[in-house]
Amino acid sequence: MVAGATRGAGRGIAAALGEAGATVICTGRSSRAGSDDIRSDYDRPETIEETAEMVTSLGGTGVAYQVDHLESDQVARLAGRIRDDYGHVDVLVNDIWGAEVLKGGPAEWNTPIWRHDLEVGLRILRLGVETHLITSHHLLPLLIDRPGGLLVEVTDGTTAFNAKEYRISVYYDLAKVAVNRLAFSQGHELEPHGATALAVTPGWLRSEMMLALFGVTEDNWHDALEPGAVEGFSAAPPGFAASESPRYVGRGIAALAADPARARWNQQSVSSADLAREYGFTDVDGSRPDSWANFH
């Protein structure tokens, strides 16, 4: 199950698990056929049904469930449905975020806490941390009923990187540090059940929102590096050359899921590039990017 599979890293992870032939339950709020009462914070066209269809087209079986992971009752119903339909979860990926707009752009970064909008900040924490806690509470019983389960917490920045770098705002910083710690603490609790938890961060991600920011697609994203190449859009910084597609981190998680010795990763915090070096996979274009190597 990939929680937060509508777009970005979640969609890439679901797709990569589909490449590996998995049945992938894709959850999120954006649905073409679900309830209008469950709304995303984004005005974006992507849906969980599109992600599920992508999983199936790549060789897996995609299943879309519309869920607001801030609503405990909805997640509890999801867990019950999965128990009835499948009986067990082998891999749980907590990729829920939804605060990309709330964190603001570079002009709004580094706003001190006493000037930052309090309600916005608390919403960032609810979306980025509380959702993960609710999801684990209801879904982990389906992961620990037999040995070998894998829990992946998706965040931004490894524990080591975030320990020495201030990340955008107090609220964003706290959310991303907390998710790394969640993987550590849940790994402690899962280990006696033969399950593994770790935190994984992608690098500079060419998500749908990031590509739209520079006026490019995955097919022509290199154009964003050339000033004036995309009319009406600013050129991306040079570091964008080391960016990665969402499939890259997904292939890392698929490799973890297929590794019978994955328990060696328990409680660790790693990047997609770390996993690529260990398992030998590449991004969709055959490259092996590591954008964290360029951040200081």
Convert the pLDDT of each residue in 39-78 to its tens digit.
888 889 999 999 999 999 999 999 999 999 999 999 999 9
What's the CATH superfamily of 2-204+247-294? NAD(P)-binding Rossmann-like Domain (3.40.50.720)
Convert the pLDDT of each residue in 102-116 to its tens digit.
999 999 999 999 999
Residue ranges of the domains in the chain? 2-204+247-294, 206-243
- 94 three-state secondary structure: strand
pLDDT band at residue 296 under the 50/70/90 scheme: low
With the CA atoms of 84, 89, 95 and 98 taken in that order, what torsion angle do they form, in degrees rounded to the nearest 10? 10
Question: Are 30 and 56 within 8 A, CB to CB?
Answer: no
Convert the pLDDT of each residue in 206-221 to its tens digit.
999 999 999 999 999 9
Question: Are 251 and 202 within 8 A, CB to CB?
Answer: no
Q: What is the 3-state secondary structure (H, E, C) of 136-192?
A: HHHHHHHHCCCCCCEEEEECCCCHHHHHHCCCCCHHHHHHHHHHHHHHHHHHHHHHH
* pLDDT (0 to 100) of residue 139: 98
Amino acid at 77: R
Cα(240)–Cα(245) distance, rounded to whole angstroms?
Answer: 11
For 288, half-sphere exposure in the C-beta direction (CA atoms, 13 angstrom radius) is 11
Q: Is the pLDDT of residue 251 over 70?
A: yes
Convert the pLDDT of each residue in 152-209 to its tens digit.
999 999 999 999 999 999 999 999 999 999 999 999 999 999 999 999 999 999 999 9
Structure token pair of residue 39: 């709304």
